[in-house]
């Protein structure tokens, strides 16, 4: 995931448009990095197309293979951000409007991007999407359901706490934690005593699952939206995606 200086995420639209105008990061904001050698990389969108920058600086994600315009050099900045240099020696910029162009002669704030590797560590504020496309929703003093939809409210957004043992806790924006009982039932609670700790397991297909303190895997039911943590192995219903939100 690439985040611009303006705190917006870069998105590859279904038609190939490239913009830096997203306040959240879901599937369309994710790119795979392809190493091309000699410091050159290509970016493959969620839809399977490669990001390109033309000689004029026009940017799209419609290439089905790594053409010359799909080559970028990554330059690391002192700030910890990166800059992207096109095959024509120009830099990629994200303007305040969200327009992206690959036509800048040098690097300033608009040409810097932060790289967010979701596979390495979760961001601090997320929504969690089930394999069925609905989002986990924590009702105050009540159950956790997979019946949320975008746009998000406080029930679908969680603050992430990273613990020293590698587990995480999820605290809903209304202030309560996502906790698991001994029976595998998940509900929102104002108290935190270790029952709110989860281990994130990244899966080969790009999804993830969560394992509770009891050892059970979290899963979501497609029809009644029930969410529990009592699967003894990873099932299709136990697959989720993380969405970065603000």
Return the domain boundaries, the chain. 2-115, 125-244
Least confident interval from 13-27, 72-86, 108-122, 217-231 = 108-122
Question: What kind of fold does domain 125-244 have according to CATH?
Answer: Trefoil (Acidic Fibroblast Growth Factor, subunit A) (2.80.10)
Q: Is the dihedral of CA 71, 74, 75, 77 positive or negative?
A: positive
Q: Whole-number mean pLDDT of the chain?
A: 89
**Residue where the block lists tokens 């994130």:** 200
Name the residue among 151, 146, 155 with its Cα closest to residue 223: 146
pLDDT of residue 67: 96
pLDDT digits (tens, 9 = 90+) for 118-162: 656 677 888 898 988 899 999 988 888 999 887 788 899 999 998
For the domain made up of 2-115, the CATH class stated in words is: mainly beta
Higher pLDDT, 191 or 200: 200
Rounded-to-integer distance, Cα 138 and Cα 140, Å: 6
pLDDT above 90 coverage of the chain, percent = 53
Rounded-to-integer distance, Cα 246 and Cα 244, Å: 7
pLDDT of residue 103: 97
Q: Which residues pair with 188 in a beta bridge?
A: 178
pLDDT of residue 177: 92
Long-range contacts of 62-68 (CB under 8 A, 24+ apart): 62/16, 66/34, 66/36, 66/42
Phi, psi of 125 (to 5 degrees): -140, 120
Residue 155, judged by CB atoms within 10 A of its CB (0-12, 13-18, 19+), counts as buried
pLDDT of residue 118: 61
**pTM of the entire predicted model:** 0.62
Reduced to 3 states (helix: H, G, I; strand: E, B; else coil), residue 152 is: coil
At 52, list the tokens. 């390109």
């Amino acid at each position: 995931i690439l985040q611009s200086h303006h705190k917006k995420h870069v998105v590859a639209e279904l038609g190939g448009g490239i913009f830096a105008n997203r306040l959240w990061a879901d599937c369309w904001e994710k790119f795979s990095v392809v190493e091309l050698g000699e410091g050159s990389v290509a970016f493959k969108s969620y839809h399977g197309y490669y990001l390109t920058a033309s000689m004029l600086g026009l940017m799209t994600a419609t290439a089905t293979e790594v053409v010359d315009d799909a080559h970028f050099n990554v330059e690391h900045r002192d700030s910890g951000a990166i800059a992207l240099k096109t095959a024509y020696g120009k830099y990629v910029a994200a303007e305040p409007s969200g327009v992206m162009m690959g036509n800048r002669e040098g690097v300033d704030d608009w040409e810097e991007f932060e790289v967010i590797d979701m596979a390495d560590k979760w961001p601090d504020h997320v929504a969690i999407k089930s394999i069925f496309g609905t989002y986990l929703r924590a009702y105050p003093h009540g159950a956790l359901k997979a019946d949320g939809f975008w746009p998000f409210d406080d029930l679908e957004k969680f603050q992430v706490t990273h613990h020293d043992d590698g587990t995480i806790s999820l605290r809903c924006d209304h202030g309560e934690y996502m906790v698991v009982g001994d029976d595998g039932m998940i509900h929102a609670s104002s108290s935190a005593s270790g029952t709110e700790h989860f281990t994130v397991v990244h899966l080969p297909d790009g999804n993830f699952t969560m394992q509770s303190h009891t050892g059970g895997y979290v899963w979501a039911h497609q029809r009644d939206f029930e969410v529990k943590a009592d699967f003894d192995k990873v099932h299709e219903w136990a697959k989720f995606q993380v969405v970065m939100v603000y």
